[in-house]
Structure 1
Amino acid sequence: MTTPSVVHVVLVRWKPDADAAALQELTELASAFPDTIQGVLAVHCGANTSPEGLAGGFEWALIVSFASSAARDDYLPHPAHQPVAQLISRFAEQVVVFDVDA
C-alpha cells in the first residue's frame, strides 16, 4: 500500500432522526471511494468503539487517506463524494473536519 500524504478525518454527532438505513447507505457510499475516486488510498468509517469515553459526544467517524493534497482537493467536489457530504449534512447535529499531513 502507498503511504498516505494526507489523512482526512470527519467526526459526526448525529441528530435523533438519523436512522440505521441512512448510516448504512453512508457507509456503503464512502467505502467505495478507493474504487471511484482517484488518489483515495483507504477509507475507514463507522461508530465509535473506544473504551476511553473521550469522544466528546461524537458518534461516528469517516477517515479517508489520500495519496496527495491534490487528491484530497479533487475529492471534495467529486461526484462520488457529494452524496456522502449531503447525507452527513442532512443527519448531522455537529461535524468536525480535520486534515493531517501524514
Structure 2
Amino acid sequence: MVEHMIIFKFSPETTTEQIDECIHRLQDLKNHVPGIIDIVAGHNFSSRSQGYELGLTVRFENRAALDAYGPHPKHQECVQFMASVGRQDAIAVDFEF
C-alpha cells in the first residue's frame, strides 16, 4: 500500500467556507478515482503548522494507483479549484508500507 500525505497553505483571503469546499471535493475523489482505499482531509488545528491550513491523506492500493491519481480528470478539477480559491503552497510525502 501507498500513503500519500499533503499539507496545503492558502492565501489570507481564502475563506473557511472555501477550504470546506476543498475538503468536500477532495473526499469525493474516492467515488471517482480507482485505486483509492481511503481518503481523509481536514482543517489543521496545530499551532506548529507554519501556516499550512489543510491536511490530506490518501491511501492507495499501490504505486500504479498513485501514479494514475495525479493526471485523473477529477483530481485535476480539485487542483484547479484549490488554485482558484488561493492555494499558495503544498508539501507532499509518499511512502509504501
Q: TM-score range by the shorter chain?
A: 0.7 to 0.9
TM-score computed with the length of structure 1 as normaliser: 0.82
TM-score computed with the length of structure 2 as normaliser: 0.86
Q: Tell me which residue corresponds to 1:67.
A: 61
Identity of aligned residues (%): 25
Paired residues, number: 96
Which structure 1 segments of 5+ residues have no match? none
Pairing 1:93–2:81 present? no
Structure 1 stretch 6-15 or stretch 53-62: which is displaced more? Answer: 53-62
Equivalent-residue separation in structure 2 for 1:68 and 1:41 (angstroms):
10
- Describe the superposition over 1:6-59 as per-residue Cα deviations: whole angstroms up to 9, x where unpaired: 111111111012123322221121111222111001111111134xx3222211
Which amino acid is 1:57 matched to? G
Q: Tell me which residue corresponds to 2:48.
A: 54
RMSD, aligned CA: 1.5
2:24 aligns with one of 22, 25, 28: 28
Pairing 1:37–2:60 present? no
